[in-house]
Amino acid sequence: MSSIVGPIYEVTVSVEREIADAFDLWLAEHVQEMLEIPGFLKAETFEIEDDDEGRVRRVTHYYLANEEDLEEYLAGPANAMRQSGIDKFADRFTASRRVLRRREESDEELRALPSCLNCETSLSGQYCGNCGQRARSRLISLWELVREAFGDLLELDSRLWQTLGPLLVRPGKLTRDYLLGRRARFMPPFRTYLVLSVVFFLVAFFDPREEFNVLFEPTAETAEDAIPADQSAKEIRQGVIEDLAEEGIIVGEDAAPDEDEDSNGFNYNVTSGEGDVKCDVEDIKTADIPEWLASRLTSERLQLMCERVMADDGRALFDKLRDNVPAALFFLLPLMALILKLAYPLSKRYYVEHLLFVVHYHAFVFLILTLQILFARFATLVGIPENVTDIVLIGAAIYIPAYLFRSMQRVYGQRVLITALKYIFLLLSYFFGFISMIGIAALFAAFSI
């Protein structure tokens, strides 16, 4: 326990993040100068959590021998010591001061400060200055647990809402601020991407009537008058064939060729009659594909895959492909970051900085697509005219590529013409990269049904 019984002179400063390192160096020298003033015995400096504006904060406790020494300091050198910081950093920091005293009626000795239960750092407030954990250790109530879980969603000044605004309407701002070190007020980039991607796929593909069918009452359509999907597809296919035969384009089903050979030697034929689906797949050893892939695409395997696809008109294949799309888009991120690295070879930026740009852009795409889907459903629900809905959706679709161009301008800071050329290169790369990833996802989906 400390033997110092005099007052504690506390100084709290909030400093712009860009000058934090220089300010810390100056503060260390300033504390040593303070300790040379008579009556100042020792000093301790702590880091605490950033303020609401994202500025870093430091708290220094100066321990004095008695009240007289403090009064002499405030009446004498205090103004000069304060002015030294203003002369060096001007208005780029703010400071507040207060005096901490022991209650005179208390005979208790000063107790040691409690330690954080998470990292064991000495606590000087409600939160740990090292890891940020709350000081209290009691079990929280059920309401507090719910409020903590949905705090970012329900609090208007939370990091979630501070992130979504700039992400939607200020292209490139999040990336630029992150690279400049302004990070505390925003959600981390990858967390933003993951949250928005999950929300998008839930909004786009989650159907509660399909997933929780047992919770809904049956509709007027019953099993007797509902037409099975596979039967409907067969009737449509048969109708198309009959129409073609009537026009003289084909002469019945038997006129169709038994085989369809492509230019690579891959022979594949599917025939469907009124009964079970029949798939005929020839050996593809002569096909112009990599050997490692040809060894896996055996005729037996392809025939089984074909039969499974045709059995339900591809619904299982589509479901598997839908499940694989998030992974395919995630693997597209590092590929596009590499493209940006090649497009900006003289930018002196690290690969991870280009990856950060791509992550923020993809998070924006998920956000705008989610808003499009929700707006389309809302427009249908309230009866907004269809032409108005189309204008809004087309405008949002145009905004997506325009957003990319403006983001490249803001983050990389090059002239319009150079940015436009690299923008076209990036769009082409996006197109081929997206098609490649979806193709790979479809291949995995086909062999997993």
pLDDT in tens, 400-409: 999 999 999 9
Range(s) of the domain holding residue 31? 8-100
**Tokens, residue 405:** 């161009």
pLDDT in tens, 339-372: 999 999 988 899 999 999 999 999 999 999 999 9
Q: Work out the average pLDDT over 284-312.
A: 67
Alpha-carbon distance of 21 to 139, in angstroms, equals 38
Q: Is the pLDDT of residue 256 over 50?
A: no
Q: Is the pLDDT of residue 67 over 60?
A: yes
Pair (327, 402) in one structural domain = yes
Q: Is residue 166 part of a domain?
A: yes
Pair (49, 174) in one structural domain = no
Q: What is the pLDDT of residue 173?
A: 92
Residue 127's Cβ-count burial label (10 Å; 0-12, 13-18, 19+) is middle
Average pLDDT, the chain: 78
**Tokens, residue 104:** 């005179």
| 354 beta partners | none
Other Cβ atoms less than 10 A from the Cβ of 390: the count is: 12
- DSSP structural state of residue 360: H
- DSSP structural state of residue 265: S
Pair (162, 20) in one structural domain = no
**Of 100, 119, 152, the domain-final residue:** 100
Q: What is the pLDDT of residue 217?
A: 65
Q: What is the pLDDT of residue 171?
A: 94
Percent of residues, the chain, with pLDDT higher than 70 = 68
Q: What is the pLDDT of residue 231?
A: 52
Per the document, the length of the chain is 449
Q: Report the number of distinct structural domains present in the chain.
A: 2
Q: Is residue 236 part of a domain?
A: no
- DSSP structural state of residue 254: G
Q: What is the pLDDT of residue 387?
A: 93
Q: What is the pLDDT of residue 125?
A: 63
Task: Tell me which residue has tokens 């389309």.
Answer: 376
DSSP per residue over 426-437, as a string? HHHHHHHHHHHH
In terms of average pLDDT, the best of 45-59, 116-130, 262-276, 349-363 is: 349-363
Alpha-carbon distance of 6 to 80, in angstroms, equals 23
pLDDT band at 154 (very low <50, low <70, confident <90, very high): low
**Tokens, residue 222:** 């019953």
32: CATH: 3.30.70.100
Pair (91, 157) in one structural domain = no
Pair (85, 146) in one structural domain = no
- DSSP structural state of residue 381: H
What lies within 8 Å, CB to CB, of 81 at 6+ separation is 30, 33, 34
| 161 beta partners | none
Q: What is the pLDDT of residue 411?
A: 93
**Tokens, residue 24:** 């810390």
Contacts 24+ apart (CB under 8 A), 184-187: 184/50, 184/54, 185/50, 185/53, 185/54, 185/159, 186/159, 186/162, 187/152, 187/159, 187/160, 187/163
